[in-house]
């Protein structure tokens, strides 16, 4: 019986060529893992950046509204009455964003006028952060209230043709200062003087007989003349006499009245324009003018309404004619043939060596005549003109936003 012997060759199977596929497979796996990690990281970074930008934009929009409203209130400025867009730039201290600009859009929602003339307006202010040239990011809307105070009541208490602060020097006899009613003055009442003056002011004339040109009227309608037509008001300063004549309430001043008058009706350095911008005539449609005389004389040619001269004097020459109320912080100087129908209130605070003057030299006496005639109708018309001019023109008060909400796009 034959035997078959099997011999098994020792050693491993042949594995040559396996390393490269394994390496490639490992590289692919690692690449996929790295890519997944990068994608996840970049997504998280983008999400985080978006959240940061969104929060920063929201804070930026809110800060812009707060600072804008505060600036408007501090400046006493008027918010726009209708839709308007403006770019507001935050300062470096306000934000760390690379683009500190915010677009603001004001929209007036309502305007309510109270019985006393106070106006309350409510606005929505849309605040949108700027990115480049467009508004992008989270936007907010704030609700804001702005109140314009009622106009200062202007119901004068004028009881004379001239309320005199300071001295008055009269040269010549061709003048009339009259508080007596005329046929044309259907509004007048009795008991009006030619002049009311303070106890420290004096009236002198180059001839005692000329004092008869001061004419008044008693409460019984009887004509008065000379010193009987001139009343000395005791225990009042020149300013108090003027304020009483203007009918200002206790604590109110001439500056309060001037502040309520729109800027377009004001002239002179105090109001940012040259004195020469006032041509001597009150605009027929406005009938109100305030002039800073810059320490000198303001020439008044005519027309009607209310003229207020501060830091200066009023001078009328030739045939100048004015109907209404002349209020002058300094003195007046009248010569030639000027006529005032209404009243002059001279405070005389800024005195000159000569004070108030009615001056008719030898040439003027023959052909000239100075007339200051109390005219209640002209005074009432001037009161209406000033009330109309100051209506809804006071310095507004802007309150902090009373409501906020984020705009959902």
Considering Cα of 66, then 72, then 74, then 76, what sign does the dihedral take? negative
CA distances, 67 to each of 105, 142, 404 (Å): 15, 12, 15
Q: What is the pTM of this model?
A: 0.69
| Cα–Cα distance measured from residue 373 to residue 180, given in angstroms and rounded to the nearest whole number | 8
pLDDT in tens, 237-248: 888 999 999 998
- Tell whether the model's pLDDT for residue 270 goes beyond 60: yes
Question: In this predicted model, what pLDDT tens digit does every residue of 199-236 receive, in sequence order?
Answer: 888 898 888 888 999 999 998 889 999 999 999 999 88
Instruction: Report pLDDT for 323.
Output: 95
Residues in the chain, total: 409
Structure tokens at 100: 């500190």
Residue 57: pLDDT band (50, 70, 90) is confident
Taking 60 as the threshold, does the pLDDT of residue 29 lie above it? yes
Distance (Å, whole) CA 374 – CA 389: 23
In this prediction, residue 4 has a pLDDT band, given cuts at 50, 70 and 90, of low
User: Can you say whether the dihedral through the CA atoms of 173, 302, 268, 244 is positive or negative?
Assistant: positive
pLDDT band for position 117 (cuts 50, 70, 90): confident
Instruction: Give the pLDDT mean for 364-391.
Output: 84
- What is residue 250's predicted lDDT score, i.e. its pLDDT? 84
Phi then psi for residue 306, to 5 deg, are -130, 130
* Residue 195 binned pLDDT confidence (cut-offs 50, 70, 90): very high
The predicted model gives 309-335 an average pLDDT of 92
Strand partners, 307: 289, 326
Work out the mean pLDDT of the chain and round it to a whole number.
83
Q: Which helix (H) or strand (E) holds 140?
A: strand 139-148
Q: What is each CA distance from 288 to 131, 132, 227, 305, in whole angstroms?
A: 48, 47, 33, 6
- Banded model confidence at residue 262, pLDDT cuts 50, 70, 90: confident
Q: Per residue in 293-314, pLDDT tens?
A: 998 999 999 899 999 999 999 9
Query: For residues 113 and 344, what is the distance between their CA atoms, to the nearest angstrom?
Result: 34
The predicted model gives 332-361 an average pLDDT of 82
Residue pair 327/307 in contact by the 8 Å Cβ criterion? yes
Q: Is the pLDDT of residue 32 over 90?
A: no
List the structure tokens of 7: 């011999």
Are 311 and 292 in contact by the 8 Å Cβ rule? The answer is yes
State residue 321 phi and psi, 5-degree precision.
-145, 130
Instruction: Categorize the per-residue pLDDT at 365 as very low, low, confident or very high, splitting at 50, 70 and 90.
Output: very low
Which residues, 6+ apart, have CB-to-CB distance to 402 below 8 Å? 143, 144, 145
> Distance between CA atoms of 302 and 339, rounded to whole angstroms?
9
Q: Shortest CA distance to 341 belongs to which of 303, 394, 299?
A: 303
CA–CA separation, 340 vs 345, rounded Å?
12
Predicted local confidence at residue 346, as pLDDT: 92
Average pLDDT over residues 73-85: 76
Provide the 10 A C-beta neighbour count for residue 65: 22
Lowest-pLDDT choice from 23-27, 49-53, 190-194: 49-53
In this structure, what token pair is assigned to residue 251? Answer: 């604590």
Residue range 81-99, pLDDT digits in tens: 655 566 777 765 554 556 6
CA-angle at 300, arms to 294 and 306, nearest 5°? 90
Over pLDDT 90: what percentage of the chain? Answer: 36
Spell out the residues 6+ positions from residue 117 whose beta carbon is closer than 8 angstroms to its own. Answer: 150, 151, 391, 392
């Amino acid at each position: 019986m034959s035997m078959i012997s099997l011999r098994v060759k020792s050693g491993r199977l042949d594995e040559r060529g396996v390393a490269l596929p394994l390496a490639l497979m490992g590289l692919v796996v690692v690449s996929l893992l790295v890519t997944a990690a990068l994608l996840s990281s970049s997504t998280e970074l983008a999400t985080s950046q978006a959240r940061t930008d969104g929060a920063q934009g929201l804070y930026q929009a809110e800060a812009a509204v707060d600072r804008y409203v505060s600036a408007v209130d501090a400046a006493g400025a008027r918010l726009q009455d209708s839709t308007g867009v403006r770019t507001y730039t935050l300062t470096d201290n306000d934000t760390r964003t690379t683009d500190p600009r915010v677009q603001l859009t004001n929209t007036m929602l309502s305007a309510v006028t109270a019985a006393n003339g106070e106006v309350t307006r409510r606005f929505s202010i849309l605040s949108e952060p700027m990115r480049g040239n467009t508004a992008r990011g989270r936007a907010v809307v704030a609700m804001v209230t702005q109140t314009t105070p009622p106009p200062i009541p202007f119901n004068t208490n004028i009881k004379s043709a001239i309320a005199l602060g300071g001295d008055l020097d009269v040269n010549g006899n061709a003048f009339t200062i009259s508080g007596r009613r005329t046929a044309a003055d259907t509004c007048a009442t009795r008991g009006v003087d030619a002049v009311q003056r303070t106890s420290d002011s004096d009236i002198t004339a180059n001839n005692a007989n000329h004092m008869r040109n001061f004419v008044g009227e008693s409460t019984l309608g009887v004509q008065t003349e000379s010193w009987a037509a001139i009343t000395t008001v005791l225990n009042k300063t020149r300013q108090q006499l003027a304020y009483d004549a203007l009918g200002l309430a206790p604590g109110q001043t001439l500056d309060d009245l001037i502040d309520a008058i729109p800027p377009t009706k004001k002239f002179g350095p105090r109001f940012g324009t040259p004195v020469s911008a006032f041509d001597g005539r009150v605009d027929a449609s406005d009938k109100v003018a305030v002039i800073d005389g810059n320490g000198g004389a303001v020439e008044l040619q005519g027309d009607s309404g209310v003229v207020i001269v501060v830091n200066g004097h009023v001078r009328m020459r030739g045939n100048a004619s004015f109907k209404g109320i002349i209020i002058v912080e300094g003195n007046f100087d009248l010569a030639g043939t000027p006529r005032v129908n209404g009243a002059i209130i001279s405070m005389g605070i800024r005195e000159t060596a000569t004070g108030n003057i009615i001056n008719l030299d030898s040439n003027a006496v023959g052909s000239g005549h100075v007339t200051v005639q109390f005219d209640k109708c002209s005074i009432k018309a001037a009161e209406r003109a000033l009330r109309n001019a100051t209506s809804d023109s006071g310095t507004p008060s802007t309150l902090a936003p009373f409501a906020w909400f984020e705009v959902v796009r």
